[in-house]
Structure formats: structure tokens, C-alpha cells
Amino acid sequence: MGFDPVATADDFGDRRFSDALRYDREQKHNYQRSTLRGDIAAEVEKLFWCDLLILQFPLWWFSVPAIMKGWIDRVFVNGGVYGAGRRYDTGGLAGRRAMVVTSTAAYPDMCAPDGLVGALDVILWPVQNGALDYAGCKVLPPFVSWSVNFVDDDTRRRYLDDYAARLRELETTEPLYFHPLGDFGPNWRLKPGVPARTVGQGKPAG
């Protein structure tokens, strides 16, 4: 597609603030007025059209590659996907499901809770919780292809077969658990008596 991942003032046909680029607030202003740049508007339309969003990427420096991060930054728009009370249970993508599909050069034991690079659910927390769950999606368990640089062709074919099998089971796959808004008090922290059940709120990985 040649999608431009760089967020700039050119993303907006109508500027609310002329003194400085307040990107998230300009997103909201332009989303409400249908004056977002064409490439963003087209992707936003796809986002709200879909029932299931799959983010498929090679794990890159413990995160998504730059072009996918730029896509999230520009397309998960304030005023539509989040903002004005839209977050987590009430996110703009509520009712949809999402799944991370990633490949990595790491071996599985490297991403164990006591592994060299740390637990995979910790590594994926920013995208699974910070983007997909925050936007209101029910997040399915990720599909991971391990040590892709080093395995043989038979193993790569098995990864593809396993991925196809996962796709056939999407309708019956149980989503990951994330704390609902009701578990948090007015201080934005888990209420007394609510045990942490995710790595992001303090439960040990694994």
C-alpha cells in the first residue's frame, strides 16, 4: 500500500489550533468534521467495517514495526476509536475482536517468564492492552511463529498449517482476560479486594 506512517499537520484538512500541532485533538476535530486526510479516512472506514482485526507483523525491538505503529497512531483516531469516555469496555471498537499474529527470531524459552527477553504476554502488553483492548476489542490469544530465521522448511510449513487451523477456530476461541473498567476505583487503581489478574496490573507472568 505504501502507507505513510508519519503523523503530521498535513493529516488534517481543518485545523482547530494554529499555534501548535496538538495531534490527538486535531484528530477529534477533523474526525467529527470528516476532514481527515484521505488515506486515514479510508483506513478508519475499514476499521469500523471489520468484525475481526488481525495485526500481523514480525516482532521488532520488542514491538511492532514502525509502519504499523504509525498506522495505529494515525488510524486509531481520537473521537472515534477512543476519547470522550471511549476506553476499554466502552471503546469505539467495542463488539469487535482482534488478534496479534507475530513472528520472531527468538526461541520459545527466551520468552518464558524467566527467559532471557521476558514473558511474551509482557512484551505484547502495549499492543494487546494499550491499543486493542483500550479501543474496546475482545483480544484473542496471539499466534506466534518462533525462531523463524533458524527453523527448517517443514517447520515453516507447520506454522502455516497451525495458523490456518487457528483461523478456522476464531469463532470459538476464548478471548484473553483484561480487567474491566468496573474493577478500578476513582483513583484509577484496582479496587481493594480485586486481585490483579493481568501482567499489566502486577500479576507475575505465567
Name the nearest CA neighbour of 98 among 144, 137, 153: 137
Q: Is there a domain that residue 102 lies in?
A: yes
Give the cell for residue 87: 476506553
d(CA 18, CA 4): 23
Q: What is the mean pLDDT of the chain?
A: 95
- Where residue 152 falls among pLDDT bands split at 50, 70, 90? very high
| For residue 203, pLDDT beyond 80 | no
Give the contacts of 78 (CB within 8 A, at least 6 positions apart).
24, 25, 27, 28, 31
Average pLDDT on 63-81 reads: 97
Q: Is there a domain that residue 36 lies in?
A: no
Is 134 in contact with 127 (CB distance < 8 Å)? no
For the chain, state the CA radius of gyration.
19
d(CA 197, CA 124): 16
Question: Is residue 63 classed exposed, middle or buried when 0-12, 13-18 and 19+ CB atoms within 10 A define those classes?
Answer: middle
Q: Is there a domain that residue 28 lies in?
A: no
Average pLDDT on 98-118 reads: 95
pTM: 0.93
Q: What is the pLDDT of residues 171-180, one digit of tens each?
A: 999 999 999 9
d(CA 14, CA 28): 11
Q: Is there a domain that residue 20 lies in?
A: no
Beta-ladder partners of 56: 101
The domain in which residue 88 lies consists of 52-176+193-201
Q: What is the pLDDT of residues 8-32, one digit of tens each?
A: 999 999 999 999 999 999 999 999 9
Three-state SS for 66?
helix
For the chain, strand residue ranges (E) read 52-58, 97-103, 138-145
Q: Is there a domain that residue 45 lies in?
A: no
Name the nearest CA neighbour of 58 among 111, 97, 106: 106
Work out how many domains the chain is built from and give that number: 1
Residue 191 has a pLDDT of: 96
Q: What is the DSSP string of 164-175?
A: HHHHHTGGGPPP
Residue 205 has a pLDDT of: 66
Average pLDDT on 154-160 reads: 96
Average pLDDT on 151-173 reads: 96
Q: Is there a domain that residue 86 lies in?
A: yes
Residue 167 has a pLDDT of: 97
| For residue 206, pLDDT beyond 80 | no
Share of the chain above pLDDT 90, in %: 95
The CATH number assigned to the domain holding 121 equals: 3.40.50.360
d(CA 88, CA 186): 16
Q: How many CB atoms lie within 10 A of CB 40?
A: 21
| For residue 118, pLDDT beyond 70 | yes
Residue 1 has a pLDDT of: 87
Q: What is the pLDDT of residues 35-59, one digit of tens each?
A: 999 999 999 999 999 999 999 999 9
Give the contacts of 201 (CB within 8 A, at least 6 positions apart).
179, 190
Chain centroid offset of residue 161 CA: 24
Average pLDDT on 59-72 reads: 96
Q: Is there a domain that residue 71 lies in?
A: yes
Q: Is there a domain that residue 182 lies in?
A: no
